[in-house]
Structure 1
């Protein structure tokens, strides 16, 4: 089921009620809005081991009208060896990119990937960081779209650039914030990586294995059902309240390997009605780049 909020009615040819989807959109809802000029679909397929994969996959076939954004080039800034594998992009450049592909103040954005939402969650978070709430993940990703027998195309969309005005929020924290609050009651740190990497085992991506002292592990995949769709809101709320263990949502800081998959935990909390958590943007890849920071294995 799609999660949405009703905003003031706006009339336009063929569309009488404007609905803002802020967390999830199901396949049927997206199918019904493929021709809506105020909706924009964004494909962010990506693989860490093959960074050209997403562009090849998009060229071979994508949801009609979808625009492609690259995780490294578009959704991340330049690395300097100390700021992690996916640093936050420059706000002005990101806002310009959003406008160039057709995101305006009233655009409903739908994002998808084929990696259980791991990359799509990053774009969802980036748009919300810059003040654009009308963005939702396609629940179940491209797999759900194809399983429903929905149309795929190789045709490139005609872009209609709009003005995107960035209104950044206090949605993330840096390494100093985390270091100052390690193992205190003022921060509840949640690591979205797999349990083995959290324990410091099978680390093949970052040069150091382990986790930040005081962090607890909630793999981003644990928010999903076996079919790749998100668990019901009530179930997510029960699970996350147990994870929070009495901490208020605004004391929760999410991290992962590089600030990408952790965004899916933020989304899960939003679906559960637990708003206000933030992202440690540099995450483990930034943290472990400084040998002076403490590590638990």
Structure 2
């Protein structure tokens, strides 16, 4: 087991199991989700999840209600999110581990939000639920009871901050930062997709598909490999992270932290907010 605790980026199945076996209190967040079927994740959770895990719904818990101009998954209100975390029993300094079955696509959003709230001890389970099952550990359909309310209070963000559409627009010509788009290459190029009423990407953006952060086993690539890839994309510029709605962009934020390149800023509204205003420029084709 890694002696460096709390875990702040990734935690392996073996490390998580060791924490649980030694009686360490861990808040497990099951972040299963399906954009095409928003309640499917809750169904999958009910069918089988890590023992003691609580469900975190992307739309209801990890985002606020969209208004048509702020993207599909606006950031939650900090006070509301803090109250939800306390309702799950989160205590100050308690280790949180988020996971899903999609390479961390949704779990990374939970990771970023907790860091944004100033909670240092949060990590994504490397390999997610599939890695837990492959290692021979059991799942359960038992849902934990309400328990005792936690004492978590928000602190200063431990992530690089956020930018608005206006910030991104102002930076396009100056090139002071590099926008990295986490969507798959076909959506980035501008191929038709039901998720994107307007196809394309932010002018000047480069494509870093979030799944490219993973190896063939669905685990994150090494810090050295990630650092080399992101450094080549950024060319010394600070990163602004975007995707469809500010969710898988958090996967790139996590990968940058693993790579030792912290400080990336998130554009929460991302493409779904960008295209809500017809005056904002759109680019198609390869970066």
The aligned counterpart of 1:40 is 27
TM-score, normalised to structure 1, is 0.91
Structure 2 Cα separation of the partners of residues 119 and 202 of structure 1 = 23
Cα contact 2:244–2:272 (8 A) shared by 1: yes
- Equivalent in the alignment of 2:154: 166
* Alpha-carbon RMSD: 1.4
Whether contact under 8 Å (2:93, 2:120) holds in the other structure is: no
Partner of residue 242, structure 2: 255
* Long gaps (5+) in structure 1: 7-18
Change in CA separation of 1:198 and 1:162 when aligned onto 2, cut-off 3 Å: same
1:83-112 CA distances to partner (integer Å, 9 max, x unpaired)?
100011111100000111021211100000
Distance in 1 (alpha carbons) for counterparts of 2:20 and 2:244: 34
Q: What does 1:286-297 correspond to in 2, within 5 Å?
A: 286-297=273-284
Q: Deviations over 1:235-290 (max 9, x none)?
A: 1111111111122xxx2100000000000001001000001111000000000010
- Equivalent positions of 1:1-297 (< 5 A) are 6=4, 19-34=5-20, 36-158=23-145, 159-169=147-157, 171-247=161-237, 251-297=238-284
Give the Å deviation of 1:71.
Answer: 0.4
Distance in 2 between residues matched to 1:57 and 1:271, nearest whole Å: 29
In structure 2, C-alpha distance between the alignment counterparts of 1:202 and 1:114, rounded to whole Å: 26
Secondary structure at 1:126 match in 2: helix
SS of structure 1 residue aligned to 2:81: helix
The total of aligned residue pairs comes to: 280
Aligned partners of 1:206, 1:82: CA distance in 2, in Å?
Answer: 14
The alignment partner of 1:209 has SS state of: coil
Unaligned runs of 5+ in 2: none
Q: 1:168: how far off?
A: 4.3
